[in-house]
Amino acid sequence: MKILVANLGSTSLKWRLFQFAGGEERLLHRGGLERVNDYGAALEECLGELGRAGHVRGAADLAAVGFKTVLARGVTGCVRVTESVLEAMEAFNSVAPAHNPPYVAGIRLFARRLPGVPLVALFETAFYQWAPEAAMRYAVPESWCAAGVRRWGFHGASHKYIAERSAELMGRPDVAERVRRLYVDGGRTPVADPPLRVISCHLGGSSSITPLANGLALGNSLGMSPQSGLPQNNRVGDLDAFAVPFVMRTLGLSLEEVERQLCRQSGLLGLSGLSNDIRDLVRAAGEGHAGARLALDVFVHSARHWIGSALAQLGGADALVFTAGIGENQPELRAAICRGWEELGIELDPEKNAAVRGAEGCISTGRSRVRVWVIPTNEELVVAREVKRLLEQEAARGGAGESASAGAAGSSVN
């Protein structure tokens, strides 16, 4: 069984091709295109590369195409992509303007180019279906909540991968098995005492922090939209709700212009006035650029805030995990985030921390009560595994259908 996982950005297409056979899983091919102006041409280039590599000669070689979709109105979980699912995604275009429109357009292209190949979406919100309701609600009228104003949580595939891998590294196969079966039995797989408490820090172009109790998410720093939580690359992060009407009245901005500035000119870019790339900011801060230093300081402060919240929710921690582009590759920021936390049981080993970039490793001292790990994430593998599981469930039932958590049904994509 070969499953292609496509990651669609507003100007990019990245892919990984996985093969599942004989109980083994293998990455066959990976690739990507940046600065995409023509998605149709990009899709042809993707399929061309897979063909030249000898992996995919035609649609018959693919069991499915999986997508790491973000959110949709009334739809979550791992589901077959139907027209109603795409319409549910479009209903939240304004909540995820950098994500939903390119995914909807890209999925339609895949459907036209690969007719008959199952298209499956694993929504980022799926991992938070079992989080406590108190962690996911805003203090707004019930009518607002019914309309979709609530915390949804994102980076679900990444945090799920970290939940499973950290459990394996911490010697807790029971917790790892619960995470593997999460979308099958909703977290009902039993685990032994003592509880495993992990704080997963996905720090990258977009960032979020999730407390994990025995593999289950207790919440997420991202809220209703991917524009919340920590300062993102060029998206605002947390902001007082009354700031929007205030700047509209004070600066004479339209709602559309406010949305544009919050999504494209804020975050690390807005703070620094220089760049939305953390590598540029680290370099510029070292050269004395005040805006770059401010952006880094705000990012570190926010990460410490959310990790502190996770510590309080969990009542302590057994492991703290850094992942994604910043978490995996910026030892200086990891050190800044963990500075002064020895009394909390978190103590980094400076030499280990400096040595780990883009690889898996423990970076805490032997004295640290909390083990601190760097674990490269693998969101695409999580998507491929869940797509495989869905196809197997459908085969066992004797036909295609949506998962029980989908909350939507509809005709085939066209």
326 known ligand binder: yes
327 known ligand binder: yes
Query: Which pair of structure tokens corresponds to residue 334?
Result: 């990891």
325 known ligand binder: yes
Of 394, 378, 397, the C-alpha closest to 18 is: 378
Provide the β-strand partners of residue 211. 199
Do the domains at 2-122+379-397 and 156-233+276-374 have one common CATH topology?
yes
pLDDT of residue 9: 78
277 known ligand binder: yes
407 known ligand binder: no
Strands 371-374 and 361-362, by their bridges, are: antiparallel
Phi, psi of 239 (to 5 degrees): -155, 140
pLDDT of residue 409: 36
Assign residue 296 a region (left: φ > 0; alpha: ψ between -120 and 50; beta: otherwise): alpha
| Gyration radius (Cα) of the chain, Å | 21
CATH number 3.40.1710.10 is the correct assignment for the domain at 156-233+276-374: no
Measured in residues, the chain has a length of: 414
Break the chain into its structural domains and give their ranges: 2-122+379-397, 156-233+276-374
pLDDT of residue 8: 86
Assign residue 77 a region (left: φ > 0; alpha: ψ between -120 and 50; beta: otherwise): left
Phi, psi of 201 (to 5 degrees): -115, 100
DSSP 322-367: EEHHHHHH-HHHHHHHHTT-GGGT--B-HHHHHH-SSS-EE-B-TT
pLDDT 10s digits, 239-259 = 999 999 999 999 999 999 999
- Inter-axis angle of helices 156-169 and 173-180, nearest 10: 160
pLDDT of residue 401: 56
Strands 371-374 and 78-80, by their bridges, are: unpaired
> Tokens 């066209």 label which residue?
414
Tally of CB atoms within 10 A around 173: 12
CATH number 3.30.420.40 is the correct assignment for the domain at 2-122+379-397: yes
What string of pLDDT tens digits covers the 414 residues of the chain? 999 999 887 678 899 999 999 889 999 999 999 888 888 898 999 999 999 999 998 889 999 999 999 999 999 999 999 999 999 999 999 999 988 998 999 999 999 999 999 999 999 999 999 999 999 999 999 999 999 999 999 999 999 999 999 999 999 999 999 999 999 899 999 999 999 999 999 999 899 999 999 999 999 999 999 999 999 999 999 999 999 999 999 999 999 999 999 999 999 999 999 999 999 999 999 999 999 999 999 999 999 999 999 999 999 999 999 999 999 999 999 999 999 999 999 999 999 999 999 999 999 999 999 999 999 999 999 999 999 999 999 998 886 654 444 444 333 444
278 known ligand binder: yes
Give Cα 384 to chain centroid, integer Å. Answer: 15
7 known ligand binder: yes
**Prediction pTM value:** 0.92
Phi, psi of 171 (to 5 degrees): 70, 35
161's CB contacts (< 8 A; 6+ apart) are 377, 378, 379, 381, 382
pLDDT of residue 39: 83
